[in-house]
Structure 1
Amino acid sequence: MNPMRALRQYQKVNSHAQISEATPYRLVQMLMEGGLDRLAQAKGALARGDVAEKGLMIGKAIDIIIGLRDGLDAQKSENPASIEQLASLYVYMTNRLMQANIANDAEMIDEVARLLITVKSGWDQIPPAQQAG
């Protein structure tokens, strides 16, 4: 068996195990981490001139951000307006990534990464007692 293939298979099994054991809080955290990873991969592909890979990674980042937006539920929030603002931010991020893909613009990718890092840093600061709720 090819060592790289074995490593990829292990990583796949390991990530499935992490997902099956994760709390909803941790799943959102993992999505944000995955989105940031895809944005970094898109920037790397753009720098190498690999347009197909750049488009693929931006597409995956967009899918993740859409998933984050779809997971929002203003009705379950103590502050529905903040959830609506976050939903609007996610829409803005997906639009910027579509523009970045068309324009091959690394700065737009960086802008979205900074926004996602800001959202993630807020998410990461949620106290453990509130993570389950």
Structure 2
Amino acid sequence: MSTQAYQAYQSNSVQTASPGELTLMLYNGCLKFIKLAKRGIEEKDYELKNTNIQKAQRIIQELMVTMNPEYDIANDVMPLYEYINHRLMEANLHNDTTILNEASELVTEFRDTWKEVVRQTRQQKFGEGGNA
């Protein structure tokens, strides 16, 4: 697949995704950036580390900003997002892969939970009697 075709595919994927699928994409992107940042630390490529930690932080910040405070769960999730963001800052300052592993585990839990929510929502929407 050409680069241009791949970019068009990616753009179309984002444009046609449901809000739940977009959130899932954000979690997956955050995990990818944490993994790249970890590689940056391991390879002493501090620009790679810094750039990708900042990308991961921007995703966490986006999740924080777009969270609907009217839902009770927001009171439980927001402090965890703040904690992840803080730990990413610490990992960046101290070049600490252990902290990145911790952040990655937390984001993975959010992602896996969210993936299940998306799956159940799809099942309810399309699975019961075939009515959309």
What TM-score bracket applies, with the shorter chain setting the length? 0.7 to 0.9
Q: Deviations over 1:3-62 (max 9, x none)?
A: 9xx53x333222111000000000000000000000011111111110011000000000
Q: Is 2:7 the counterpart of 1:16?
A: no
Amino acid at match of 1:113: S
What is the aligned partner in structure 2 of residue 71 from structure 1?
66
Q: Is 2:45 the counterpart of 1:50?
A: yes
Structure 1, unaligned runs of 5 or more: none
* SS of match in other structure, 1:74: coil
* SS of match in other structure, 2:67: coil
What is the aligned partner in structure 2 of residue 105 from structure 1?
96
1:91 to 61, 76, 82: 82
Cα displacement (A) at 1:125: 1.0
CA RMSD of aligned residues (A): 1.5
What is the aligned partner in structure 2 of residue 122 from structure 1?
113
Identity, % of aligned positions: 26
In 2: Cα distance, 1:59 partner to 1:74 partner: 25
- For these two proteins, the number of residue pairs brought into alignment is 121
TM-score by length of 1: 0.85
In 1: Cα distance, 2:12 partner to 2:45 partner: 32
Amino acid at match of 1:118: E
TM-score by length of 2: 0.86
